[in-house]
Structure 1
Amino acid sequence: MNPKNCTLYSGGLKGAETVFGETAEKYNVNEVIYTFDGHKLSREKNIRILTEEELERGDISMELASRMMHRTYYETDKIRKVLQTIFHMVNSGHQVFVVGSIQEDGSVKGGTGWAVQLAKIFNRPLHVFDQPQEKWFTWKGSNWQEDHPLIKYDTFVGSGTRYLSDAGRAAIEQLFAESFS
């Protein structure tokens, strides 16, 4: 893989997304940060502000999102826009990498879990670094299997928790090092 031919899609938020972006920059991987007007980012390079019309293309019922994620999302404009932005990230990237916590029901904790659900729906190669276990897992069929993933497609998503651990940071850096060495 030539990193100059690859593009990372993320949301530019604090934690995992910032480290994905910084690491992509270090390896000369192109980066696109999807966001919306008024959204506070931690990483402000290569920003693509989605229009209201574009955001609407990623719209979903908050009730359906809540059911799929096994948690309650309240109808707020900001949460809706965040979920719509995640839709564009996952729709743009062929492979999805997430840092977070896999729950007992197979979902991933927090808003990060929406990227995971969409990756499953869109049938994208999906990999989660589970911070509590400090291991990578890949979604295969209908369950998580321990794995050692590599970036294998020229478009990929990097998302995850705002509360990135040292192990999570190291996992992202190792992913890039092994994929582009």
Structure 2
Amino acid sequence: MDQEKCTLFSSGLKGAETSFGETAEKWGVKEVIYSFETHKLQRERNVILLSQEELERGDISMELASRMLNRTYYETKKIRKVLQTIFHMINGGHQVFVIGTIQDDKSVKGGTGWAVELAKMFNRPLHVYDQPNKKWFTWKNDWVEDEPTIEYDTFVGSGTRYLSDAGHQAIEDLFARSFKETN
């Protein structure tokens, strides 16, 4: 992979997404951040503010999201906009990397879980670094332990706001494994 031809998609939030963005910047990978008015960002490089019409293209039923993630999402404008923004991230990137917690029901904890479920629905190569287990897993109709690399020109970096040192190191190592021959 030539990192200068790659683009990272995220939403620039604190934690995993900031770490993905900072690491991408170090490696010369282009970064695109999707957001919306009033959304508080940690990183503000190459931000695309989604209009109401663009957000609505990523609209989903809150009932469907709740059912898929085995949790309750209340009908709030902010949560809906966050989920709509995640749609644009997953739609933009071919491969998906997430830092989070894989739960017993095989979903991923928190709002990050929506990125995982969309990646499954869109049939994207999907990789989750499970912070409690300190291991990468790839989705193959079940979670399989793996050590993934970035293999596509467009990819998503998403995850928890509560990034551990091990999670940050996993992101650094992912980029090093993926681009070691070109640097």
TM over 0.5: yes
Partner residue of 1:159? 158
User: What's the C-alpha RMSD, in Å, of the aligned pairs?
Assistant: 0.3
Give TM-score, length-normalised by structure 2: 0.98
Rounded to whole Å, the distance in 2 between the matches of 1:72 and 1:43 is 29
Instruction: Provide the secondary structure at the position in 1 that maps to 2:42.
Output: coil
How many Å separate the matches in 2 of 1:176 and 1:71? 32
Alpha-carbon separation, structure 1, partners of 2:178 and 2:12: 21
Instruction: Provide Cα deviations, 1:89-135, integer angstroms capped at 9, x if missing partner.
Output: 00000000000000000000000000000000000000000000000
Distance 2:22 2:47 in 1: 14
Name 2:3's counterpart in structure 1: 3
Query: Aligned runs of 1:13-28 on 2, under 5 Å?
Result: 13-28=13-28
CA distance in 2: counterparts of 1:59 and 1:105, whole angstroms: 25
Tell me which stretches of 4 or more aligned residues in structure 1 moved more than 6 Å. Answer: none
| SS at 1:120 equivalent | helix
TM superposition shift of 1:34: 0.2
Alignment of 1:80-91 (within 5 A): 80-91=80-91
Deviation for aligned residue 1:139:
0.1
3-state DSSP class of the match of 2:127?
strand
5+ long unaligned stretches in structure 1 = none
CA distance in 1, matches of 2:50, 2:23: 24
CA distances 1:61-81 after superposition (whole Å, capped 9, x unpaired): 101100000000000000000
| Counterpart residue number, 2:33 | 33
Count residues with an aligned counterpart. Answer: 180
Q: 1:83: how far off?
A: 0.0
Match of 2:47 in 1: 47
Report percent identity of matched pairs.
75
Partner Cα distance (1:62, 1:25) in 2: 34
In structure 2, the residue matched to 1:130 is 130
Equivalence for 2:170: 171
Q: Which amino acid aligns with 2:16?
A: A
Give 3-state SS (helix, strand or coil) of 1:146's partner.
strand
